[in-house]
Chains A and B, each alone.
Chain A
């Protein structure tokens, strides 16, 4: 049997749709065994078919996600063939970023979604005849590559952020990817609007360690700075500089007397 048709029941029962029976989404004709061959042609639901226009799920903004997705390079390059299911397996999909405290886990989960095509030549070539680029080579310019790959998700740099939806779906072409280090490595870090969006909850306070929530999981140079330390250091520096200027001027004055 086609391995793609075998569903891991453990994963299914941990997923978001765990309490659904198969025929809630699939044709009720499946109740008869052997299954009719025609059933393979059944139209499949997309996320928006159930969740679109549903008041109960309004806070997840499915319509906007759909909109953002249609702006993305996945949609424009592949039209209708690229469905939600290319990234999100409906049988095993479970919410992660919003609920999982273990960041390393959900970063890996999300990255595996991208890597399922972008590092798997057979899946990649289902949709294109291009050669699958080697992700490690294309990211050669990134210092501390391994650390970056385990601490941030692909979508942090490869999507355009939309503050109305919970996770960015507008994947950009590779030319538009963030390559300026300072976007994340500064006090007003991009990561606060993406990776740390949920843990962060409006904590852009000025005093103390910047971006404290980040510190529980990682240390991002430039983004995690201490306000007081910076002020003291600049203050001391200026004082010393002024002192030396005064000393030098006095020496020059005395010499010329």
Chain B
């Protein structure tokens, strides 16, 4: 919608508005489910920073950039206690606790444009809200691409996808 151009009508504008709005509402509902889930189960512990996170994530990043080609073993293999390696943890915490909430909240504000402009910030309100929404949304899209790609770094390229469905991780 931000890049719409009459000469390249990739998808009808009103369809993209509807799909986007419905997806946004579904996302907001899922996020609430996620928050509640994290509070009532032990899953929440995986989304907390621990000591040495920066050092560890650099180690993990080095492995992905170079080590993986040299046949090294992953420095932080997955266990029940640590289901995320440090790089994952860092990025997931950022995405789930900062970026997604910002995207969803600004998105909901944009669903009621009259209320934000009139009650809160005046004329520039919509503009600022939308800029934040677009930038956060852009990060989410970037994350999506990288995330799906990293899913292929498993025992076999498809083993992590299988794991998403059956809930088990195949050891390398």
Interface residues of A (CB under 8 A from B): 141, 143-144, 146-147, 180-183, 185-188, 215-219, 221-222, 224-226, 229-230, 233, 236-237, 240-241, 244, 247-248, 250-251, 254
Q: Is the CB of B13 within 8 A of A219?
A: no
Q: Is the CB of B126 within 8 A of A186?
A: no
Give, as a whole number of angstroms, the nearest-CB distance from A139 to chain B.
13
Q: Note all chain B residues with C-beta closer than 8 A to A248.
A: 149, 152
Q: Name the one of A183, A187, A237 contacting B142, with C-beta atoms under 8 angstroms.
A: A237
With A217-B123, A240-B145 known as contacts, the answer to whether A183 contacts B6 (CB < 8 A) is yes
| Residue B2 at the chain A interface, CB threshold 8 Å | yes
A215 closest partner in B (C-beta): B127
Give the distance in Å from the alpha carbon of A144 to the alpha carbon of B112 in the complex: 9
B6 closest partner in A (C-beta): A182
Q: Name the one of B2, B64, B146 contacting A221, with C-beta atoms under 8 angstroms.
A: B2
Q: Note all chain A residues with C-beta closer than 8 A to B146.
A: 240, 244
Give the distance in Å from the alpha carbon of A219 to the alpha carbon of B130 in the complex: 9
With A146-B114, A147-B114, A185-B13 known as contacts, the answer to whether A233 contacts B4 (CB < 8 A) is no
Give the distance in Å from the alpha carbon of A182 to the alpha carbon of B138 in the complex: 21
A141 closest partner in B (C-beta): B14
Q: Is the CB of A224 within 8 A of B14?
A: no
Q: Is the CB of A224 within 8 A of B127?
A: yes
| Residue B134 at the chain A interface, CB threshold 8 Å | yes
Give, as a whole number of angstroms, the nearest-CB distance from B123 to chain A.
7
Q: Is the CB of B17 within 8 A of A143?
A: yes
Q: How many residues of B contact A (CB 8 A)?
A: 34
With A147-B114, A180-B6, A244-B149 known as contacts, the answer to whether A221 contacts B1 (CB < 8 A) is yes
* Nearest 6 pairs of A and B residues by beta carbon: A181-B13, A219-B126, A222-B4, A182-B6, A219-B127, A244-B149
Give the distance in Å from the alpha carbon of A228 to the alpha carbon of B5 in the complex: 17
Give, as a whole number of angstroms, the nearest-CB distance from B130 to chain A.
6
B15 closest partner in A (C-beta): A181
| Residue B77 at the chain A interface, CB threshold 8 Å | no
B126 closest partner in A (C-beta): A219
Q: Is the CB of A236 within 8 A of B142?
A: yes
B18 closest partner in A (C-beta): A143
A236 closest partner in B (C-beta): B142
Q: Which secondary structure characterizes the binding site on chain B?
A: helix
Q: Is the CB of B9 within 8 A of A182?
A: yes
A-B contacts, 18 listed (Cβ < 8 Å): A144-B113, A147-B113, A181-B12, A181-B13, A182-B4, A185-B13, A186-B5, A186-B6, A222-B13, A225-B2, A229-B131, A229-B134, A233-B138, A237-B142, A241-B145, A250-B69, A251-B69, A254-B71
Q: Is the CB of A181 within 8 A of B145?
A: no
| Residue B68 at the chain A interface, CB threshold 8 Å | yes
Give, as a whole number of angstroms, the nearest-CB distance from B13 to chain A.
4
Q: Is the CB of A222 within 8 A of B142?
A: no
A214 closest partner in B (C-beta): B127
Give the distance in Å from the alpha carbon of A89 to the alpha carbon of B166 in the complex: 74
Give the distance in Å from the alpha carbon of A229 to the alpha carbon of B6 in the complex: 20
Q: Name the one of B2, B114, B124 contacting A215, with C-beta atoms under 8 angstroms.
A: B124
With A143-B17, A244-B145 known as contacts, the answer to whether A186 contacts B4 (CB < 8 A) is yes
Q: Note all chain A residues with C-beta closer than 8 A to B9.
A: 182
| Residue B168 at the chain A interface, CB threshold 8 Å | no
Q: Could you tell me which residues of chain B, from 100 to 149, have a CB within 8 Å of some CB in chain A?
A: 113-114, 123-124, 126-127, 130-131, 134-135, 138, 141-142, 145-146, 149
Give, as a whole number of angstroms, the nearest-CB distance from A72 to chain B.
25
| Residue B3 at the chain A interface, CB threshold 8 Å | yes
With A141-B14, A237-B142 known as contacts, the answer to whether A185 contacts B1 (CB < 8 A) is yes
With A215-B127, A219-B127, A221-B130 known as contacts, the answer to whether A182 contacts B5 (CB < 8 A) is yes
Give the distance in Å from the alpha carbon of A151 to the alpha carbon of B108 in the complex: 21
Q: Note all chain B residues with C-beta closer than 8 A to A226.
A: 131
Q: Name the one of B1, B18, B69 contacting A222, with C-beta atoms under 8 angstroms.
A: B1
A253 closest partner in B (C-beta): B69
Q: Note all chain A residues with C-beta closer than 8 A to B149.
A: 244, 247-248
